[in-house]
Each structure stands twice: as C-alpha cells, then as structure tokens.
Chain A
Amino acid sequence: MTVAIVGAAECDLGVTGLSVLGLQTQAVTRALADAGLSLRDVDGIATTGVARFSATSLAEHLGLQPAWTDSTFAGGSAFEMFVARAAQAIDAGQCHTVVISFASNQRSARSRSLGGAYEPHTPEAQLEQPYGPLYPASHYAMAAGQYLHKYAATREDLAEVAIAAREWALLNPAAFRHGAGPLTVDDVLNAPMISTPLTAADCCLVTDGGGAVVLTSLERARDLPKPPITVLGYGESTTNSSMSAVDDLTVTGAVASGAAAFARAGLTPADVDVAQVYDSFTITVLLTLEALGFCGPGEAGGVVRDRTLPLNTSGGGLSYCHPGQYGVLLLVEAVRQLRGECGARQVSGAEVALAHGTGGILSTHATVLLGVDR
C-alpha cells in the first residue's frame, strides 16, 4: 500500500442549526488545514448524503472540478469503502488528493423517522413495510433476538456495549454525552423499549455532525506536517437489502470484509491496538467483533466486559455522535489515536487501528486497517 491519510477533522457536532453544505464545508476545510493542504490541492471527492448527486453537489459548492468522485450509497460503511476506492485511484494515478467527507443536520432538521424511508418501487415497500418494522431498528432487534437465543448471552451483555461506550465519551469533550455521567446496566435495561430486546439506550444517538479525511500518496504524505497514517488493508461485503434475505442474522458480511482486509494487510486481529466498530446498536458491536475474528461466536460479550480491546474510543455512535452515516467518524478517531492526539482517551502506543463500517440493516460491511508509518 502506498497511500496515507494526512488530514482528519470533525465538523460541528450535536445540535448545530446549520445546513448540510455548511457542515460539509467545515469538515473539508478543517481536514485540509489539518493536512497542511488547501482546496486547490483536491482533485478527488467522495461523499454521500448531500443530494442525489452528492459528490457533484459538494464539488460545485467547494468550487472544484475533480478528476475522480465517488458517491456510492451504502449507508454508514460507505466511507470505509471510499478509502479503498480512493487508495486505488491514487495508486492508479487518476487523482492525487482525495477528500472523503460526510455531514448531516438530522437532529436540527428532525429528518429522522422511526419507520425509515422505504422507496415505493422497491420489493421491500410491497412485502416488508406493510408489517410495520422499524427501519433499521427492528432488523437489529431480530438479530439481537437470534443472538440471545443462540448463545448464553443476555441483555446485560448488550447493555455493556453502551456502558463501555459511555466510559470513553466521558473522556471525550466532543462527545454528545460527555457530561451525562456514567451509564449503568439498569439505565440501559430500564430505558424505553423500542423494539424488543433493544431499548433506547441500545440504539445510537440521533445528532448532527460529520467529518472528513484527506488521502494522498505516502510519498507525498511524508512531506506534510502531520505523521502519515498508512492504509494497510481494506475489504468489503454487501449481503442484503431486505430483512428476509440473510439466512442467519448472527453471521454478518463483516466475516468476508474483515478476512479480506486482514489478508491484504498481512495482519490478524491480535495486531490491532485500537478498534472503531460501527455501533448503530449494541448488538452491532457484538456481531461485528465476532465476525472480524476478535473472538469466537458468542464470546464478544466477554471481550467488551473485560475491556481488553480499546473499542470505540470516541464514545461511538452510542455516546459521541451519530449523524446517520457515522462511518467517516470511525476513520477520524482511528487516525487521531494513531497520531497520539487523543488526550485523556489516548490508547498508549497504538500503531495499528481498525475501522469497520456497517450500513443499512447489516446490509453493507467495510473494514479498513490503518497504521503508523514505519
């Protein structure tokens, strides 16, 4: 691999009252400033959630005519996919400096609905939506139900994921729940039930926010102010659009995406010093840790409880920020941990980081491995 992340930043988070393009501009310009680069250096843009023509709209807003764009819509994992595509485009010489960005004002705009946004022309609108599932919550709830049924796992194991995320958020001043105090098992179990067995505290936040990362060749990265964070490996897997397609909800596409990423990097889960794993729901983390090979099937509850793996060190989607497609912020936190910029929540000596995005209803999975430049 010869590509590195050289800049990373958040836009304003929480409740901003700002527009999507305004937040995007914050994310992009702050990430470029972090990289020691300017807008004039950017010839590649990857983003979603701006408009139907997302990268096109953002490029025009920034006054750019990029040589490469990507607006693959895959939900929260798109940004880990973008890292792979950007690395390939830079390696192939199609472009030299790529900005991957996302921003949402969903909390300020009150644009999120429990039932989700089924498109009337899809099979799911005819055959699944009429039964009233919450989208995506009921799918994750069914996966959680299967998980608890299949293994000797309990709702307390799910709750522990939210509790651990809150512990990190208390160390991160940018976290939405930074000042909320610690979470207890009872807090999670007694929160309003949404779709059994998931309570509101098993579900990620709904906030504004977003971020951006800047990629360029490793050779060029070594001349820039911040230490380069190299792209070591990546992999992805797309498994389902509907709630009925996958045979076993407890086995996700992270099995394939993780295996591909580790093989490409020549690494194993034991080499990972810090992991950022998409926590749309508490169950998502347990399923993903097992799929990626951090432990065996049914064992992820123990990994979380033992706090042996530094996980979702920003506080995650559960306690830090969840702007709807959270994947870009997994990358931002991974980069900051590898640079040693994380202050009270810094993982000592972190040299290899994993970022794993999950989109839709366990639909899309993308894994990225990042490392310090050796």
Chain B
Amino acid sequence: MSIPEPDEMTQVYWDATRERRLLLQHCDACGHTQHPPRTLCTYCGETDALSHREAAGTGVVDACTVVMRSPSPDHEAPYVVARVRLPEGVVLISNVETDEPHAIAIGDAVRLAWRPLDDGRALPVFHPDHQEN
C-alpha cells in the first residue's frame, strides 16, 4: 500500500506511528483537540500553540460499514470501515479488524492496534475490545 508522504502538518503524526503511538493535535491555548492535524486550531484560530498528545487507545464505533467490493488490491473484501469516536473528542476513519465483520455494530468498544507499512510507518487500526490482539 502506498500512502502519500507526510507534509509539515502530518509529519509528527506519521513519525509517531513508527513507535506505535497515536498522536492527536492539541491546542495549548484553548484545550481543543482536533484531527487531522492542521496549522491552526479550528476552535480558537491559534496558530502558534499547537502540540500533540498521545491518545489513550480506546474508542467506540460511531458508524461502520462492511465493504463488499474492494476498490483496490490493497484491500480484500469483506472488511470493516468505521468512524471510531475517541474519548479525546475526535472521530477517526479506520478499520475494525475482525474475522466477523458483519458482527461489528455502532456502540461497540474497540481498542487501538497497528498495521505495519512497508516503509516503517504503521496504520492505526482498531480491534474489537473483546478480541486478543
């Protein structure tokens, strides 16, 4: 799978994935957490007080779909694409990796896992909370 190179906004996010840490952007001026990372805080407009904090690694399925026709050779259907709501207050698009994709439902607790990429980075994905990593 080929993912575009990071830019100045996403470099810190992707670098942390090499250490299997999921970082979320935090505004030190107003306390807002946002994703994707940007060059300003969308809540208060601050451009000079943005830092990153590590996510707890838990989440809840906010919405999900089982993709039955893969759009590319990188993905083998069926698989779950989900909106995962993190306790830090942001929603991520991710995969919930499971042998029973049709059993995943809104409200399910999930926890962070990692899918390695060829270049040393890793994709943050999620597993059902009851499933062994």
Contacts and interface: CB of A to CB of B under 8 A. Distances in A.
B71 A142 contact: no
Interface string A113-137: 1111000110101111111111100
Nearest to B37: A123
A121 B4 contact: yes
B36 A127 contact: yes
Interface stretch (B43-51, B52-60, B89-97): B89-97
Contact of B67 (A138, A149, A197): A138
Interface in B2-36: 3-4, 6-7, 9-10, 14, 35-36
B106 A146 contact: yes
A244 B65 contact: no
A175 interface: no
Interface in B59-73: 62-72
A185 interface: no
Contacts of A256: none
A145 B74 contact: no
Nearest to B42: A245
Given A128-B93, A242-B93, A195 B123 contact: no
A155 to B, nearest CB: 13
Interface in A197-250: 197-198, 242-245, 247, 249
A121 B9 CA distance: 12
Given A120-B4, A125-B4, A127-B36, A138 B10 contact: no
Interface string A137-150: 01001110110010
Contacts of A131: 81, 93-95, 123, 125
Contacts of A142: 63-65, 81-83
Contacts of B74: 130, 132
B68 A138 contact: no
B6 A126 contact: yes
Interface residues of B, number: 38
B40 to A, nearest CB: 14
Chain A interface size range: 35 or more
A133 B67 CA distance: 7
A129 B93 CA distance: 9
A244 B106 CA distance: 15
B69 A134 contact: yes
Nearest to A200: B69
A127 B106 CA distance: 21
B68 A196 contact: yes
B71 A145 contact: no
A193 interface: yes
Nearest to A245: B91
Given A125-B4, A244-B93, A132 B67 contact: yes
Contacts of B6: 126
A243 B95 contact: no
A195 B101 CA distance: 12
Contact of A132 (B14, B71, B102, B106): B71
B102 A138 contact: no
A116 B69 CA distance: 13
A358 to B, nearest CB: 18
Interface of A: 113-116, 120-121, 123, 125-135, 138, 141-143, 145-146, 149, 192-198, 242-245, 247, 249
Interface of B: 1, 3-4, 6-7, 9-10, 14, 35-36, 62-72, 74-75, 79, 81-83, 90-95, 102, 105-106, 123, 125
17 contacts: A116-B71, A130-B74, A131-B123, A131-B125, A132-B75, A132-B81, A138-B67, A145-B63, A145-B65, A192-B68, A195-B69, A196-B68, A196-B102, A244-B35, A244-B91, A245-B91, A247-B91
Given A130-B3, A131-B95, A145-B65, 9 more contacts: A116-B71, A126-B3, A126-B14, A131-B123, A132-B70, A135-B71, A142-B81, A192-B69, A249-B83
